Amino acid sequence: MADCTIRVNPNGPYRVTGPATLTDPQGNETVIEEGRGVSLCRCGASTNKPYCDGTHSRIGFAAAEAAVQKSGS
């Protein structure tokens, strides 16, 4: 069985490729079959959360592409 992969798209969504299970706050599960994928909103502006609806392109979303090191650690 393949592993779930999560790809961070530049200035766009997280692309999740199954096998994986997405669980909403009410506990409802959506199964992502092996080899199938969904795009999860990273910009916060989608009207179809948790899924990306392409709004990130229209609003010019610019993401931090790498984690920022904590100072003093």
Residue 8 token pair: 């961070």
Measured CA to CA in angstroms, residue 54 lies from 10, 14, 42, 65 at distances of 13, 12, 11, 18
- Decide: is 17 part of the binding site for ligand FES (CB under 6 A): no
Whichever of 20 and 56 has its CB closer to ligand FES, that residue is: 56
- Decide: is 55 part of the binding site for ligand FES (CB under 6 A): yes
The whole-angstrom separation of Cα 51 and Cα 14 is: 9
- Decide: is 15 part of the binding site for ligand FES (CB under 6 A): no
Binding positions for ligand FES, rule: CB under 6 A: 12-13, 41-43, 45-46, 52-56
